[in-house]
């Protein structure tokens, strides 16, 4: 893959993702003297200055200080972020993401986040030499091996070709010698693949930050059970659940992902946001030719009619995007346990979480969606 000349870009940020605050000017300016003959004006009562909002994080690269993956995508493109930690579970998730992004209008970003390491070893090489060789993937630095394997997997399944142009981007990070690095591969047809190595105070922080900056249509995170297999960028079940809980977009948390068993879309008997969620999943499922099944759970027999109406409304909603449900079901029982049990036979359980935002991240730890996410053994998608 040919490197594009003159495309190395740099930015600078702190390890916490926020630029350092400017130092106040030394000394206070002298107060102006009142004009002759005029009494001095009374000093106004002291006011507390308004607290400044924390500055936004500066990501790596790009002419505007941003990578292509977070520079603002075209409305016609479908963008997917896949969180890689080196585990086999994360590569299964990558394969599923490729299936969802099988159309020519999809772009893919592979993200590896490692906690900040002030004692990083580079084998005695100067950092400038290390950065230059990142493009050739000739150095076994933290996270590089995992991203390299992801790149090889994409090439193996025909999603990345040798004739794609490659652009390297870098951002200095205070307290870490390697900083943030990325390689953007661009196809002649306009598709892009970004391999992103990010340093952050924690894996969860780095992923959530990239999620918000990138405005991805779908974020895929595999909940790995093997920390030794994954290394420093390990994405635990707790980290994956936090991403699904706090990110404002659609998140797929994969566990023992088995393809070709369809999506079980759970519809609230009250309708509302779950209808929009069903439509969102139908759009995603249609990209990979995955069948969609509708389920609504009434707590009592008295709620069955409402659940049936909700399923009928969901059918109409997904048919508007060209998808016909492969099956419909209404059950009576505890919503969480019923969904978990019924969902075992499907590739993905889909739930919606449309709710008023609290700050810039969503909080729904007491909701049915989060309880199902915590208890299910298979993959769960939270749509928004």
pLDDT tens digit string along 170-183? 888 887 777 888 88
CA–CA dist 60, 312 (Å, integer):
47
Neighbours of 206 (CB within 10 A): 25
304 three-class SS: helix
Beta-sheet pairing, 165-174 with 176-186 = antiparallel
Helix (H, G, I), strand (E, B), or coil: what is residue 171? strand
> Where in the chain are the domains?
68-254, 263-383
Alpha-carbon separation of residue 220 from 69, 133, 152, 199, 331 (angstroms): 15, 29, 19, 19, 29
For the chain, residues with pLDDT lower than 70 are: 1-75, 103-104, 117-142, 226-230, 271-272, 354-366
- The CA distances from residue 79 to 67, 191, 290, in Å, are 14, 10, 18
What token pair was written down for 274? Answer: 């779950």
Three-class secondary structure of residue 381 per DSSP: strand
CATH code reported for the domain at 263-383:
3.40.50.620
Residue of 210, 205, 218 whose CA lies nearest to 59: 210
pTM over 0.85: no
pLDDT of residue 384: 79
User: CA torsion sign, 217 to 223 to 228 to 232?
Assistant: positive
Helix, strand, coil proportions of the chain in percent (round to 5)?
30, 25, 45
Q: Other C-beta atoms within 10 Å of 164: how many?
A: 18
- Structural contact between residues 383 and 353, judged by C-beta atoms closer than 8 angstroms: yes
| Sequential DSSP letters for 178-194 | EEEEEEEEE-TTS-EEE
CATH number of the domain at 68-254, out of 3.40.50.620, 3.40.190.10, 3.40.50.720, 3.40.720.10? 3.40.50.620
Give pLDDT tens digits for 19-67.
444 444 444 444 444 444 444 454 444 444 444 433 334 443 333 333 4
Q: What's the rounded Cα separation, in Å, for the pair 106 and 124?
A: 40
Distance, in Å, from the CA atom of 277 to the CA atom of 265, rounded to the nearest integer, reads 8
CA angle in degrees (0–180, nearest 5) for 160-213-200: 90
Equal fold, 68-254 vs 263-383: yes
Furthest CA-CA distance within the chain: 89
| Phi and psi torsions of 231, nearest 5° | 90, -155
Q: At residue 323, what are phi and psi to the nearest 5 degrees? A: -120, 130
Triad 115, 117, 123: Cα angle to 5°:
125
User: In terms of C-beta distances under 8 Å and separation of at least 24 residues, what long-range contacts does 45-50 make, across chains too?
Assistant: none
User: Residues, the chain, total?
Assistant: 384
* Alpha carbons 98 and 109: distance in angstroms, whole number: 11
Secondary structure of 339-380 in the HEC alphabet? HHHHHHHCCEEEEECCCCCECCECCCCCCHHHHHHHHCCCEE
Instruction: Please state, in angstroms and rounded to a whole number, the distance separating the CA atoms of residues 290 and 220.
Output: 17
């Amino acid at each position: 893959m040919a490197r594009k000349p003159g495309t190395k870009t740099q930015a600078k940020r702190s390890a916490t993702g926020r630029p350092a605050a400017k130092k106040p000017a030394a000394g206070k300016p002298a107060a102006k003297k009142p004009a002759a003959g005029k009494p001095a004006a009374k000093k106004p009562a002291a006011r507390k200055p308004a607290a400044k909002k924390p500055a936004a994080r500066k990501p790596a690269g790009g002419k505007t200080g941003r990578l292509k993956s977070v520079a603002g995508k075209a409305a016609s493109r479908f963008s997917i972020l896949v969180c890689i930690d080196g585990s086999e579970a994360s590569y299964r998730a990558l394969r599923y993401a490729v299936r969802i992004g099988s159309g020519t209008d999809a772009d893919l970003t592979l993200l590896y986040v490692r906690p900040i390491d002030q004692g990083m070893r580079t084998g005695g090489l100067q950092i400038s030499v290390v950065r230059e060789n990142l493009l050739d993937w000739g150095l076994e630095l933290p996270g590089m091996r995992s991203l390299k394997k992801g790149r090889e997997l994409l090439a193996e399944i025909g999603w990345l070709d040798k004739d794609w142009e490659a652009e390297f981007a870098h951002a200095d990070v205070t307290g870490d010698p390697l900083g943030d690095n990325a390689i953007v591969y661009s196809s002649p047809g306009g598709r892009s693949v970004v391999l992103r190595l990010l340093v952050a105070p924690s894996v969860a922080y780095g992923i959530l930050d990239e999620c918000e900056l990138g405005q991805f249509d779908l974020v895929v995170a595999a909940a790995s059970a093997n920390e030794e297999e994954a290394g420093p960028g390990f994405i635990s079940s707790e980290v994956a659940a936090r991403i699904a809980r706090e990110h404002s977009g659609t998140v797929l948390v994969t566990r023992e992902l088995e393809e070709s068993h369809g999506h079980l879309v759970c519809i609230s008997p009250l309708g509302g946001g779950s209808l929009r969620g069903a439509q969102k999943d139908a759009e995603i499922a249609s990209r990979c030719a995955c069948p969609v099944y509708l389920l609504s759970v009434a707590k009592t027999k008295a709620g069955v009619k409402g659940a049936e109406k909700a399923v009928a409304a969901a059918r109409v909603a997904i048919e508007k995007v060209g998808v016909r449900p492969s099956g419909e079901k209404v059950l009576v029982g505890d919503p969480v346990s019923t969904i978990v049990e019924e969902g075992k036979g499907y590739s993905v359980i889909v739930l919606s979480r449309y709710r008023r935002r609290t700050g810039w991240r969503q909080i729904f730890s007491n909701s049915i969606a989060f309880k199902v996410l915590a208890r299910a053994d298979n993959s769960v998608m939270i749509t928004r």
